[in-house]
Structure 1
Amino acid sequence: MHEELEAAAAEAAEPDERRYPSTIGGAFYLLVLAVGGVGIAVVWGGDWRLGIRCLAAGLCFAALLRLVLPGRDAGMLAVRNRFLDAVVLGGLGAALFFLAQTIPNQPG
């Protein structure tokens, strides 16, 4: 009995080979970060409306992914429970898109 417990402890101590990212949600998280980076680059380049729309699209995509992916596969997209994460991400994306569409052009 004692030897079986030691063998089980030894197996548990050996780490499994890690894959990067370790979940599909982690890969999608990197994609959302890339879309956000592209949006910030576009804003920096001068077309702020297009850049903010790109950021909004990335957030809305992350909200959709959070709703679709199970908790164990969501990776870093999962912060709280599924519904709250999706509402926060989707709400921020919708608000950014709304503001980018409705802010009037400034003179000068």
Structure 2
Amino acid sequence: MVPLPRSRGSQIYLLLLVGVAVGLVLVAFGVWRAGLMVVGVTFVLGAVARVVVPPDHVGMLRVRGRTFDIVWMTVLGASLSLLALIVPPGPPA
């Protein structure tokens, strides 16, 4: 059995990877709005996790500084979610 990462941040990071993978699978199967929403919400949850997880347990969740990580994941997640909401539907097939 593969051992789980020890730090709480690394465990959360793996869950975030699963969320992004699910979103990308949805996009690949043509349900792009739902897929983008899943990826966007996953990034926002990553930003929230970066705020909540203590610095000594952040593990792989840390990319740069805390402020950079929080702002970047929030902007990216909100942008993808907003994109999924505001793009008008195409003509009926």
What is the TM-score of this pair, normalised by structure 1? Answer: 0.78
CA–CA separation in structure 1 for the residues paired with 2:45 and 2:60: 14
Query: Structure 1: any 5+ residue segments left out of the alignment?
Result: 1-18
| Deviation at residue 45 of structure 1 after TM alignment | 1.4
Kindly indicate whether structure 1 or structure 2 has the higher relative contact order, using CA contacts under 8 Å at least 6 residues apart: 2
Of residues 62, 73, 84 in structure 1, which corresponds to 2:57? 73
For 1:25, the equivalent position in structure 2 comes to: 9
For 1:55, the equivalent position in structure 2 comes to: 39
| Deviation at residue 42 of structure 1 after TM alignment | 0.9
Of residues 74, 79, 85 in structure 2, which corresponds to 1:95? 79
Query: Structure 2: any 5+ residue segments left out of the alignment?
Result: none
Cα-to-partner distance string for 1:36-55 (whole Å, 9 max, x where unaligned): 00001111111100000000
Stretches of 4+ aligned residues off by more than 2 angstroms: none
What amino acid does structure 1 have at the position aligned with 2:48?
Answer: L
Residue 22 of structure 1 aligns to a residue whose secondary structure is coil
Instruction: Percent identity, please.
Output: 37
Work out the number of aligned pairs and report it: 90
What is the TM-score of this pair, normalised by structure 2? Answer: 0.90
